[in-house]
């Protein structure tokens, strides 16, 4: 006798009737409700039972046979397959599944211990005016030019869309970057030394995989960029923090013992915004040479320099090939492109390209092709000039608003370049975290070090007193309004407690 199957099809569901039928019968088999060898209803009878076309049932049966759940014997009929291992099937039984849930704890545990930096502000929807750090102006994206380059690249595309490219990057883009770095950053590099990556964060992974093992010491600035600190930690690095002073990294405090790696941001220190002096740069290179270290120079926002000429990068002073230079288009064009690059000493070209291949077989082609055209055609330089003017005006507006409300004596740092400045709060004010919270409640986003993607191994004189203000993505009007709101908050907090009026 054949079974009358407990099936229920829903004509209004997204899945076709045929696949609903397939899945329901499969589940009955896997749960042991239909046992191996059990005869299946004839297709004609089942189609009548369900009120569907016979073809629907035939196709579902066909698929069940193809996948091995059913077997068909000519002139006899269709059966649940005998080849299914009963002991496995019972695992799918709801009762057994209940038991099984209790065993969830036996599952192999995740051995990864780590945290990720926050690149998206989780509070952004609550903020009318947001001084979030390192964020390009939304309206700054060179959309017209980008569309043109994308279309031109697509029109000229041969096999680049279907096939893998060189994991180290599109050669045209590597050439364009190498050529750009000469005048812009004083760096002499061959295209081969340029490795295209998915942003500085990926470059740090490549560096870590080349040099960091459990317990490897890595010099970092204190405070430093969260994304780098978390990344090195996740690979087991032992971080050796070196204090940042008013002239940048305190080079005299670098460890005397051999260290393999140091991570620095000399152009515009993250988070404090200070610039490492030329003397500091030379001493850092001398130290690197002496202890045998590679220095990772993260030049994340160096395209924006407002006073004087662009500063030669540390890599430009590096006559011994000690520096691994990291650049990105996330700040200058857009983070949504996910394109950055590293310039490595010759002996690291091959291991870095190998690690990049192991990580993801290379960047997507379209962004690389469009970006190469954008740089070579001069559009990139024009774009930089344009947004540099915008950001400079916003920086000036922010400085003016701060001085207007809080007096000319306020302590500001990191003004020479970049996309944010740093405000050191007076010692008798509320703490940076308190000011941040109060500002947030009035719709203004300002950031203390820990919420501004900065990392401090232990509390310092900066912790409670430092506010980071990103100005690149707020309009001048927003800047004035935001700082005025801050001024109200500070005034309120510092007003003497009100004496109740004497009652007549």
Tell me which residue of 251, 270, 296 sits closest to 133, measured CA to CA. Answer: 270
DSSP H or E segment with residue 297: strand 294-298
Binding of residue 12 to a copy of itself (CB under 8 A):
no
95 binds a copy of itself (CB under 8 A): no
24 is an interface residue for a copy of itself by CB under 8 A: no
Q: Binder to a copy of itself among 8, 12, 102, 106 (CB under 8 A)? A: 106
Q: Dihedral, CA atoms, 372, 373, 374, 376, nearest 10 degrees?
A: 80
Q: How far is the CB of 409 from a copy of itself (least distance, A)?
A: 26
Site string for a copy of itself, 206-225 (x = CB under 8 A): ---xxxxxx-x---------
* Minimum separation from the CB atom of position 331 to a copy of itself (A): 9
Question: Which range in 38-46, 50-58, 315-323, 423-431 contacts a copy of itself by CB under 8 A?
Answer: 315-323
Binding segment toward a copy of itself, per CB under 8 A, in 39-47, 230-238, 441-449, 485-493: 230-238
Site string for a copy of itself, 133-172 (x = CB under 8 A): --xxxx-xx-x--xx--xx--x--xxxxxxxxxxx-----
Six token digits for residue 432: 């940076």
User: Residue 249: enclosing H or E segment and its boundaries?
Assistant: strand 248-249
Query: What's the rounded Cα separation, in Å, for the pair 326 and 449?
Result: 23
Question: Closest separation between CB of residue 55 and a copy of itself, Å?
Answer: 14
Q: Give whichever of 31 and 405 is closer to a copy of itself, judged by the CB atom.
A: 31
- Our measurement of the distance from residue 106's CA atom to the centroid of its chain's CA atoms, rounded to an integer in Å, reads 33
| Region near a copy of itself per CB under 8 A, out of 181-189, 404-412, 447-455, 493-501 | 181-189
Q: What is the DSSP string of 344-381?
A: --HHHHHHHHHHHHHHHSS--HHHHHHHHHHHHTTHHH
Residue 10 CB, nearest distance to a copy of itself (Å)?
14
Piece of 44-52, 71-79, 301-309, 475-483 that binds a copy of itself (CB under 8 A): 301-309
The single residue among 33, 54, 283, 405 that binds a copy of itself, judged by CB under 8 A, is 283
Angle value at C-alpha 263, between 258 and 268, nearest 5 degrees: 140
Q: Is 180 in the site for a copy of itself (CB under 8 A)?
A: no
Distance between CA atoms of residues 213 and 215, nearest Å: 6
The interface with a copy of itself within residues 342-361 (CB under 8 A) comprises 347-348, 351, 353-355, 357-361
| Residue 56, CA atoms < 13 Å, CB-side half-sphere | 19
Nearest-angstrom CA–CA distance, 80 and 40: 7
């Amino acid at each position: 006798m054949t079974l009358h199957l407990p099936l229920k099809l829903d004509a209004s569901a997204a899945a076709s009737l045929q696949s609903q039928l397939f899945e329901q019968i499969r589940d009955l088999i896997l749960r042991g409700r239909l046992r191996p060898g059990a005869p299946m209803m004839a297709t004609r009878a089942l189609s009548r039972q369900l009120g569907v076309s016979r073809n629907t049932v035939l196709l579902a049966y066909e698929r069940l046979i193809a996948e091995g759940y059913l077997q068909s014997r000519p002139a006899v009929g269709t059966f649940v397959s005998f080849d299914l291992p009963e002991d496995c099937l019972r695992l799918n039984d709801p009762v057994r599944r209940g038991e099984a849930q209790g065993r969830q704890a036996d599952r192999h545990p995740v051995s990864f211990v780590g945290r990720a930096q926050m690149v998206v502000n989780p509070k952004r929807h609550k903020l009318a005016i947001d001084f979030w750090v390192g964020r390009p102006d939304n309206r700054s994206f060179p959309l017209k030019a980008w569309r043109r380059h994308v279309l031109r690249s697509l029109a000229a595309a041969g096999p680049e869309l279907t096939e893998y490219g060189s994991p180290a990057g599109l050669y045209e883009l590597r050439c364009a970057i190498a050529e750009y770095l000469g005048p812009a950053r004083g760096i002499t590099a061959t295209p081969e030394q340029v490795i295209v990556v998915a942003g500085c964060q990926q470059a740090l992974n490549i560096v870590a995989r080349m040099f960091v093992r459990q317990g490897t010491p890595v010099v970092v600035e204190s405070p430093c960029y969260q994304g780098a600190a978390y990344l090195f930690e996740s690979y087991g690095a032992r971080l050796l923090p070196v204090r940042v002073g008013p002239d940048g990294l305190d080079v005299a405090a670098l460890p005397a013992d051999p260290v393999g790696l140091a991570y620095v941001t000399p152009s515009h220190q993250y988070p404090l915004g200070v610039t490492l002096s030329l003397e500091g740069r030379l001493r850092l290179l001398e130290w690197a040479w002496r202890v045998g270290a590679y220095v990772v120079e993260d030049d994340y926002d160096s395209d924006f320099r407002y006073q004087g000429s662009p500063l030669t990068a540390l890599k430009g002073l590096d006559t011994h090939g000690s520096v691994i230079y990291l650049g990105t288009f996330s700040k200058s064009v857009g983070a949504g492109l996910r394109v950055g690059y590293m310039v490595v000493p010759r002996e690291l070209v091959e291991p870095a390209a190998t690690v990049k291949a192991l990580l993801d077989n290379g960047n997507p082609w379209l962004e690389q092709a469009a970006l190469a055209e954008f740089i070579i055609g001069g559009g990139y330089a024009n774009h930089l000039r344009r947004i540099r003017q915008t950001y400079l005006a916003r920086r000036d507006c922010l400085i003016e608003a701060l001085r207007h409300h809080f007096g000319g004596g306020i302590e500001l740092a990191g003004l020479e370049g970049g996309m944010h400045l740093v405000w050191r709060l007076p010692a008798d004010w509320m703490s940076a975290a308190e000011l941040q919270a109060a500002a947030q409640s009035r719709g203004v986003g300002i950031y203390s070090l820990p919420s501004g993607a900065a990392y401090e191994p232990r509390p310092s004189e900066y912790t409670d007193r430092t506010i980071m203000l990103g100005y690149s993505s707020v309009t001048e009007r927003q800047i004035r309004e935001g700082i005025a709101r801050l001024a109200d908050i500070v005034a309120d907090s510092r007003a003497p407690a009100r004496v109740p009026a004497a009652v007549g």
